[in-house]
Structure 1
Amino acid sequence: MTAGRFARVLRKVFFTAVAVVSLLLGGIVCLMCQALAGRDAPTYRVEGHVTSHERGALPVGGDEEALSHTIGVDAGSGHYRVTAVGPGLDLPAGQPVALDISTADGSIAYLRAGGGVVDLRPGVVRPVLSIVAALLALGAVYFGAVRLNVYPPVATWLALALGAVLAPVAVFVRV
């Protein structure tokens, strides 16, 4: 095998690897954007009352004394179970409550009881950090590929376009 042929094979393999890594990193960005969009999706309200209440020890973040509360809510459209850590769900049986259900995935976003509101949505820190890390990694991959002159800048833009077109597919396939 000559040095020129070896270099061509290495370029093809590296180009393919860059395209696959780009697709995966683009998929991560799309999934995290989807998680953030689902977190803030519109909700509809269901009213009901607490039917059961359970307390349990749930070690969270090294805190061995953290209590979790699980309540059962009987609403007109069905029965719901809600679990959270902290005193927000310390509700007696029979307490009237309102649940705000997400239209995106059917999860419970808020629980309203009395005058208080308990936010049950997932946090935003992990998805935002994942988006930033994936975009930094994507930039590093392309900077390295162009800097090493493995392939011309036109191929870089084609790979970026391919990743941008195929990344939403990864969201629905759940790569």
Structure 2
Amino acid sequence: MMLKARFIFVVQGAVTLTNVSGISHKLTVDSYAYLPPNVEHSLKCDGSATLVVFERRHASLENQPTEQIVGSTDQQPLLETPGEVFQLRKLIPTSIPYDFNIHIMDFQPGEYLNVKEVHYNQHGLLLLEGQGIYRLGDSWYPVQAGDAIWMAPFVPQWYAALGKSRSRYLLYKDVNRNPL
């Protein structure tokens, strides 16, 4: 049986998440839930809502279970980003049991990554707010809210926020497992 973990992030509207034990949580804009592999749950929406639902096969480790997490972006601490100006929040614990992480990155207009990054792990992002320009390899892509980018391992990348308002993106990244 394939073990699948699920991450739910509310972009617009609200939903109610209920687990198999009958415990419910109301998820509103910028709130989220991480559901461990194969945890039964339901989502209910009384109106309209826009969700990011990310599901993946979980690379579990023996005696290292993950736990359900329900939170809100604004409840997460801003993390140090030495040499950078953007604001970073991690939504899933960075501990070994978790095989991926979700970050929220905020850039004010004109802010940019100070270095061209290269990562050994695949990752992707969804631009939630604003607009900017994204460099992948030697190509440049204008992006705006609603655009998604998937980055293969070892592809050089860079981002700058453009426009008159903050840009925010949700970033997925493989972590804590050997990519080979």
Higher strand fraction: Structure 1 or Structure 2? 2
What is the TM-score of this pair, normalised by structure 1?
Answer: 0.20
The TM-score normalised by the length of structure 2 is 0.20
Which structure exhibits the higher relative contact order, with contacts defined as CA atoms closer than 8 Å and separated by 6 or more residues? 1
Task: Mark the structure with the bigger radius of gyration.
Answer: 1
Q: Which has the higher helix share?
A: 1
